[in-house]
Amino acid sequence: MKIAIVGAGAIGGFLGARLAAAGHEVSALARGATLQALRTHGWRLREAGVLHTAPCAAASADAAELGPQALVVVAVKGPALADVAPQLAPLLGADTTVLPAMNGVPWWFVQGLPGVGDTPLESVDPGGRIAAAIALPRVLGCVVHAATGTSEPGLVEHRMGQGLIVGEPAGGESPRATAIASLLREAGFEATASPQVRYDIWFKLWGNLTMNPVSAVTGATVDRVLDDPLVRAFCSAAMQEAAEIGRRIGCDIRQAPDDRHAVTRKLGAISTSMLQDVQAGRPMELDAIVGAVHELGRRVGVATPNVDALFGLARLFGRVRGLYPAA
């Protein structure tokens, strides 16, 4: 299959390397040092100390040089997507599927969602630029359950997990979702086709909503966040607010915050992706993880004082350090 990876960082590089090794024609839309590394070395992935390489079919900063694809995997950071999306048109043929492998609430999340309206969330799609550039029928929802990083441009380090969930935004089963899940399994991922991918996205977000920004602001690994009873209680309260929003939008989470904390604690002293971004001086992916919950709460009439406090403190932290846009 002809596949393009848009954003060949930790997650994009992980998917690109595995898919290329499985024999697919995998290109990359990238820039800077990552672009140069892909042109020089191809796809590189280190797992359990072993370096795996695979050829990169083409690497360019210009989508027109890559041409139409069967599958486009979008793995850029959330803050960059509004600028990137309009540039993807040359990749989109008549039957191209777009698979967003990104953190948090995706731009398409409220489209067709009863009781919310089709107006894009301003927090994740300001002005509706992404929705205008990528038509909803092209989109296949995706949830990534994997921990990866980059030790240098173009070199992905796989730490743990290889789960991928894909599904139709409108719900239900489809030949397309089944085929993409099969393709991903053949590339070594633990991939499933879900009939309710919107719920799967919300459930993962519910678990990341507090750990990511709290760790980023405090500099603490998740075990230390959970070991402080006051911070843990605050996180639980914010999660309860997000769970109530979920009930209003058909994403009813039955797990209790303490049960989720127990799962997170088993991961040990890990640094969240947002903490890693802060430490590296990269923009904080705050809007898709916390800002979208804040905005959705207002749309469906759920008070979110704890989420609001978390969002306000985290964005102020980011603004002071130049990692989040000024007001």
> Could you tell me if 268 and 211 are in contact, meaning their C-beta atoms sit under 8 angstroms apart?
no
Residue identified by tokens 């959970």 is: 226
Tell me the C-alpha distance between 261 and 259, whole Å. Answer: 5
Question: Active-site residue 204, yes or no?
Answer: yes
Out of 2, 77, 204, 266, the active site residue is 204
| Ranges of H-type helices in the chain | 10-21, 32-41, 78-84, 129-133, 175-186, 197-218, 222-227, 229-248, 257-265, 273-280, 286, 292-300, 305-320
Q: From residue 120, how far is each of 81, 105, 106, 184, 223 by CA, in Å?
A: 14, 11, 10, 29, 35
Tell me the C-alpha distance between 102 and 307, whole Å. Answer: 21
Please write down the long-range contacts of 33-40, taking CB distance under 8 Å and 24 or more positions apart.
Answer: 33/153, 33/154, 34/8, 34/9, 34/153, 34/154, 35/59, 35/60, 35/61, 36/153, 36/154, 37/152, 37/153, 37/154, 37/155, 38/8, 38/154, 40/154
Quick one: how far is CA 279 from the chain centroid? 19
Residue 224 half-sphere exposure toward CB, CA atoms < 13 A: 13
Give catalytic residue positions.
204
